[in-house]
Structure 1
Amino acid sequence: MKNICLNMERFSLLAFIFIPITFTYGFNGESFELECPDECDCHYFRINWVTDCSESNLTEIPYDELSMSVYILDLNGNNITTLKAFPGDIKMRRLQIANNRLTRVDREAFKGLEYLIDVDLSGNNISYVDPEAFLDSRGLLNVELQDNPISVVDGPFLISTTLQYLDISSCNLSEINPQFFDNLTSLTTVDLSNNPLKTLDGSVFDVLTSLETLKLNDCKLTTISESVFSTSINLKNLELAGNQLSNTNWPELLGKMIRLEYLNLRKSGITSLSEDTFSNCTNLVTLILADNELRDLDVAAILGSSVDHLELLDLSNCKIQGPISGEAFANASRLKSLYLSGNPLFAPDLQEALEPLPKLERLFLSNCGLRNLPDNFNVFDNLQELDISHNPLVNVFTKLLAPLEKLEYLNMGYSNLSYIGPDSFSKMTSMKRLVLSGNDLLSLEAGLFGNLTQLTTLELELCGLKRPLNANVFFKNLTYMDLREIRLGGNPLVIPDSGPVFPKQLSQVTILDLSNCNITSLNADAFKNTENLTELNLAGNRIKSEYDSLSFLERLHQLEKINLSNNNLTTIDPQVFVNNPKLHSLNLIGNPFVCDCKIAEMWDWANMIKGNLDVLIGAKSAERDIVVKGNKKKKHLYCHYNETQLRNMSLPINKTVPGRRPFMKPRELSFANRTWAKYVRESGCEPVVKILRPVALVAELFDFNDGHISSGTIVLAITLATTTIVMTLRLFRRRDAPAEDTENNRKLR
């Protein structure tokens, strides 16, 4: 009777644990209730189901394996040549099928996709688009078709009363016919850049009365009809960069654009501008004329008196030969940002021209051939940013910059500096960001940064420094509380074999860049004086997978992000991060990892211990990979099988392991390189994280031979069961949470 009661006790406890486990681990851990094709990685993004089949060598879409609740379907970077109709009940909002081999967009393929909001078909071989392709998608907002050889369109391009964003850049379009936009009257943004249009006829944009942003960059335009923007009264942003518009009648072309705020004419072949060019653009805030040969430009005449709202003027690289007159900016007294980089300037002329700009906040004088600087910087009471980089200044600037006590950003990079005097920055007590990169400094003077007590960022990349920052460049016994970011990338640093790398004055630094510094190892106390680091960049070094090679991590309890990409790591154990509880971003891309079960351990550590695979950069789609107009190419985590593994794994692989989603079809190992996601599934490596092995854990806890269950075992079992139930409830709550498709939500997505 006693044995029967004991067995009943065991059975009840096991049932208490295993019932919720059955729910939680029924299908791939957290996502048991939704289908996922074999070649894809599926996960939640916020409350939405993402099916990521990108770069999976697919030749066709796995229609039969898709969940009807898929919100985002990512098929980028495959070899898909044709599209068939999707299942009728699918709720897909976003379809990404960029960089495949599609040749047509037919209506049949998108028939019934009533919920579709965004579609990305860029980077294919599409030559034909059915105008009625998206007729069923009544909430369609964004279409990307850039980088396709569409070339010729007769009549209307698409029919959509809701479409707001259309990107058809780089589509080899040589003509926009008068009916092209007839059925797209809700468009607010159109990108036609990099099409060989050459000319624009007068009525092509007439129906686009809601248009706010138009991009026509690099279209080989030589002729634009003077009436082409006559109905574009709501146009606020116009980009015409990279064309040949030397014969354009600008006053007539821009005459109706009374609401224009942003105009980009960069590198447009303009050699001269009349005095009334911008006379009607009274709301112009940003004007970019950079990279045009405006040798004889009369800045004062061009700006006139109508651009009194102008806040940003870019005249970079305009080859202005004549001296800039003292009246040049007299009518633009509201200027806050002035770009004069790349023009041959002389300090005396510059001094006179800048005098009417007391409100100037940002001044860029990079690559102007300046050997001296104006000596009237004292008039710029509001100057916060100054770029004098890439000038042959040598060592003549110290006293001239002294009046800039409110300066917050100073860039003196690549200015042939070999010596910076110890008093150079003594009065710049408001300095927050200082850039000295690209100067062959070799060493730094004692007390150089002493007075920069508000400094937040210090950049000393590619300065030939062999020693990291010495204590004597700062005030002794003073902690620089605001100094949070130091960039030393590209220096041939010699790291000591023992002891801290940085002085105690830098104890508050949180972001440290030591990339490409030829580092082979870091001792355990390397960051003893900088234990508050939250971001550490060690990319591009030569760190190997040797004993204690990552022991320096033990001190970094605040670490949130670490970049170890492109080193020489062949294996890594999640145990090395046991002292980094706040770590949420780990970049291991580009290391020569060998496919072994340590890869699976890292995967389980990210997925279950950290609770988010996004911790491992490249493990799955990140937010930046699935946003509209986002990055099409993403990098994955890879490992490779060695020759012995390949020989021993020639049989079909279709192992089912607790906590892993099994393959639906047999698979064979045919090539050595694998993404971590695929390797973890096909390897058969059992989960080693305790929470992933509830059955094994309980089996270890229960000693059925001695006929006794300890109280500790019962407490641990109840804790495990409670945790599992909580996880399950969270999954159900996330699955059932409403997803409102408001306009604001769509834009956020």
Structure 2
Amino acid sequence: MINITMVYSGLFADLTSLTELSLKGNIQNKFKPTVIKDDVFSELKSLETLKIDGPANVTFGKGFQNITMLQKLDLSGITGNCSFQRISHNMFLNMPKLTYVDVSACDILDIEEGAFGKLQYLEHLDVSHNKQLGFASLPNITHNLNKTSIRVLRGNGINCLSGIGTKILKRHFENLKHTNISEIYFEKNRLEQLEPGAFRLLPNTITSISFGENKLTQGRYILDYFFLQNIRVYNISVQLRPPPFPESIFEQCAEKTDVLHENKQYFDNEDIQEKEGNKYESMMNDFIGSKWNEHHVTFYIPKTLEVLYANMSRLYGTVPEFGINATGAREIYAQDNFLYSWDGPVHGMENIKIMDLSNNFCSHISKSFLKYARGLTTLRMSKNDIGKSLSSDMEGEIFKNTVSMKVLDLSYNNIVDLSAPMFKNLERLQTLNLQNNQLSTWRVKVDHMKSIQFINLKQNRLTTFGKEAQMSLTKLFQITNLSIDLSGNQFLCSCDSVHFLEWITGYRNRVVHFNRYECSSTSSHKFNFSDADNSLKLLKKNCKSYLVIYIVTSVAVAIMFSIIFGIFLLKNKWKIRYVIYRFKQRFKTYTGHSIIPQADSPSYEYDIMISYSAKELSFVLTDVIPRLENEAGFQLYIKDRDEPAGISCGEAIMEAIQKSKRVVCLVTKSFLKSTWQDYELNMSRMEAIEDRENLNFVHLIIFPDVCNGSISIQTLDLVRQECFSEYPEEECAFDDFWETLISHIKELNRH
């Protein structure tokens, strides 16, 4: 450390060519008055830039007049020690060639009127972070600046950290009206409003205005934007950031405020507002121009405005359909707001190149929102919730007109799926960021993007890539320098994904962080991406042996199930046939075509259906009909006599069974060999089981020629033993047989 009070004459005598000198941090007690020995510094004839501490009551004596080349003076307390509280009107009198003055963070309480107005060549003035100056000091600071060459004025943080919102009045800008100033900065000033008309006091040379990190609310002053004819950059960003804690609570700060004079009133009052009401009504018509069409309005803003910083600016609501007339606008930064629905379309966006809408809590984007964004090259929409809107866009209409797009950021948007033609018109796209979404499949067509360089699919839910996706990316790998980031996805490592693992291993040099990839916990095989070649060989070998086992097992299982199914069908064939018939019958009933009485009907057309083979017809005519119909009075169904014409044999049999109270089968050898009698017997049995719920419904008369054969045993297994009787061989026993049979049937009918 050099004690600035100990410097002596001749110290800098040999430094005749020195152009820049920094003595920052060489005052031990910044609150103790320290003399700046101007005669010592006068030896620096070529000095152009002086960076020095600003002690209390600092002065720059006549010796500084000899430093004719001095242009930049840095007294900032940010980079050194600065504690003087007052700038007198003659403080810089001996430095007339200064073009750059930085007195930021010096605890200045007061600046005399015209203190900087004597610096004819002054271009850059920084009075930032002197928190007690307040906007009320601006008239003194800017007094006579029209006699300087002022270009840049910085007044950041010239109000206390905490307190109610501040306001810029017309009187604060009054002295700037006739200057050639081009940039003004009033950030971190709790600025909430501007007096209407204040902007109109700024000269036409203004190209950049920065009101960042304030608390601006919308007001009538925005109509004055129309008068900023040459503005290029307008910054109203970071309007939500609170003052630092705990400094804002414990700081001892009392900023200077405007006072009321007897003959002049500098604050808005009701009278002034009433007088200017008509004027601002007219300005509203100019600012909100003629309608683009009958559904929305067009906002006219300065044609020279190129960049708008509106991030963290407390913008709230939807983005409706409207128009902007800003032919010079190129960049719009509106991230970190609350624009929760992007409806649009926004007309007049053709010249916008860069737009940032990230972190706006947006949950909806319409398909026409970007309809007029043909010139857009960079679009950032990260950290929103537009995944559902994108997933529902099956034809790629949202980005249909953004044909100039080069950078598209859709990260952190809860995107579950994207349609194949989503980016069909983005042929110039270079960077696509879909990081941290929920994509489980990738079917987006990208092979038309001949300029693509990077696709970020990090932290999604991808497990594999389909063949079409692999082919699409392969084409791009061959003609572009495309690299793709798939880290954070849990890939499925199994025999089904061998083709994918082989593909990604083959293009590992295009895959970012390939060696760090991992298989999902549900994978059936292990795969070491850091040793992909050997892992792939081992996987193919294992899958080949598994394939043989799989084929053999599949064939064996198929045969086994076929056998079981065949046995089931064979065992239940009559039940299946009966169920099918009943289903057809019910279907006909529902459609109004059924002519068959239902089984649960209280009466039947026939008492007994006689089932017999053609060879037993004579027996039926000579014995059965006389005995059961003529003598016993039963109404018999005899197929050769009663079968209706015009229907199939199977349907006729089922009708007869359902119309009869009982079925009596004349079981002879010819009966057992007949297919139709087999059908009658088994369908009668199924009727007994499924509908009548009584096996007595079927009665077998076993004739002597089959009584001792093996076939008769199989037949008897179809019904219970008490449901059959044997026809006698002796003629003397015939009468007893028929009497017993008739009695048995009548007994059954009574129950």
Q: Compare relative contact order (CA 8 Å, sep 6+) and give the higher one, 1 or 2.
A: 1
Please give the TM-score of this superposition, normalised by the length of structure 2: 0.48
The structure with the greater share of residues assigned to strand is 2
Normalising by structure 1, report the TM-score: 0.48
Which structure has greater helix proportion? 2
Which structure would you say has the larger Rg?
2
